[in-house]
Structure 1
Amino acid sequence: MHKFQNCFICSCLRSSRMQCSAEDLAHHLVAEFRKQWFPSELLQNPDNLNSALQEVSVPVMADDRISLTEEIVQKTRMRGTLTWAPPTFQIIFFVQPTNRRSDVIASQHFLCAGCGTKIEPRYMKKLRYCDYLGRYFCDGCHGGLESVIPGRVLNNWDFARYPVCHFSRQLLDSIWQQPLFKLTSVAKNLYSQAKELQRFRELQEQLVSIKKLLSTCRLSDGVLDEFEQLPAHLIQELHLFSMHDLIRVKKGQLCTIAKALVQSAVTHIDICELCQAKGFICEFCHSEEVIFPFQRDTCTRCQDCRACFHISCFRDESCPKCARLQKRKKLQEDINL
């Protein structure tokens, strides 16, 4: 065991100048393991070696308190071979780079990326490209199905359908309605590219603020029930979408629903005494009009005290509420002295 560890460490040091992926490191580890642990007759016979690699029994070192009959034998299984591994479940947020077919297939060691079948170079043109994984597949793993690609939506607002393999199609179908895409993290520039998305963002911010207000009103049950027309995550957290949500934004469906919800909620707030009592009076103009933070076209909030004022009236350097709070704090400090 010590001999194997020392050899592997030395090998890693020799290759430390090379940048390698986790997959490359795993392959390197298996290669070193093979050299140290498999008998020479296995190394000379590839068939025996491949079968031996599929299942390796490694005895666990037993301490003094455990008898030999109680030692646990751990079995590990390799996925694929040294030159191929099946695709894994992963959510890809970027567009696959455009590379030459021959270069990509060569990087796959002339194997189908799905099943590992060996492909003769003269049959390269028969392989089918998966736009999601950026790999080539045989016709058994790629039936020519198409799907919307998340990376193209997040980067280019592109909802066209592109060819994908069976594995990718199943993966994309399974996450289609799951809210996995936080746009402020994975697509920071998308709001500036898509006007429909920017419009929905404004409505969504209003709805989140309105729902907080309605949740404190015992007379708003009927209005709150209407909010179920939208997926719950769109009302609970900003910028979080599923692929299904984004395509509905593209079609204008979510904006239509959100706009109707805002109008219905505002109608309730205007006539509800409980909701009106939770509004603000602009302390600059002292108008009798009750204003609310969700009225983003006409109102704004102080960043410090969060009081609400008319946009045309507000002056950040002289917020009345902040001035009162500072005066009260100073008075309290004087009393304590």
Structure 2
Amino acid sequence: MMRWLACVALSDAIGIGHLVRVRALAAQLDLRLDRVLVWTDWSRERLLRVAPDLPLECVDLGNLEWPGGPMPDGMVMDMPDPPFSLLAATQHVPRKLLLGCRDARTHWADLTVNVAEGDDLVQAEPAWPDPIWRGARFAMLRARFLSGRKRPYTPSGAILVAIGGTDAARLTLPLVEMLLEPASLATHAIDVVCAASHPDADGLAHLAATSSRVRILAPAEAIADWMERSGAAVVAPGNLLFECMALEVPAVAIAQHARQADDFRAYPWLVTGGDIGRVPGMLHDLLQESRTAWTQYARAAAVGQSLPMLKRWIHAPLFPLHSNAHSADSTP
């Protein structure tokens, strides 16, 4: 049996998306991870609340070097711009999967999967032996989202606000205050996903105490059920956006930093953190005139539907894939 290792980075500034994605990848692809190296400034106890079922090892976020230990047979790299020194130290690993990079780092990998890289999220299924696979069809979602909706869509449902695990730009509070103002959204409740550690938790709790429309939801596995009850959502571009697309919940995505804005610039309903004043109007439009167009877009994206293709690649015999995935000889 092949020994697999994953490398991810996580912090309040980076967010938890990389670890969440690797956890979903392991579950959906039946991939047993022997080690998960997490470059972080979090404690292991805090990490285990995100991924309690993974063999996590904390590595100092300030030292992005190979920490040692036996080399695996396969490696998953999912971190923002992994340093070339780390790639060089692991270049002889027989099978290497790189997630979310589009520069010279792709030459390290046997296969690169870029769910979003500035191009349209709607992409055709690639042909072997293309070394870079693109599009929302490779989004790594939990089984609950891949199985589709369990109840009919209701446009009068709540507006779900989930800006991400850490909301480093502190956009949630001003956004919820904006959503309470327009008469066009007055009939919608506002469900806010917010951890107790959120920097504006007290301010959001005050809003919930003074407005019957606002409800605070703790981050949990139940987010799929909350999404299904929603008429629309405001989310971070990434895992949350793909989850909304899988459940056909119209969503505005808010990019919190330049990398997100660049990666998801082709998503038609994207705004940047400095332009959140547009969100109420965009939500009203999604709930009215643009809802059909959004639904057609989400269905065309085929979110997660090519994961079986990635699973076949993961579990193919080690040879000849190790030789060079950039050549036709890599076809399993």
Shared topology, TM-score over 0.5?
no
Shorter-chain TM-score range: under 0.3
The structure having more radius of gyration, on CA atoms, is 1
Q: Which structure has the highest helix share of the two? A: 1
Normalization by structure 2: what TM-score? 0.22
Q: Which structure has the highest strand share of the two? A: 2
Q: Which has the higher contact order (CA 8 A, sep 6+)?
A: 2
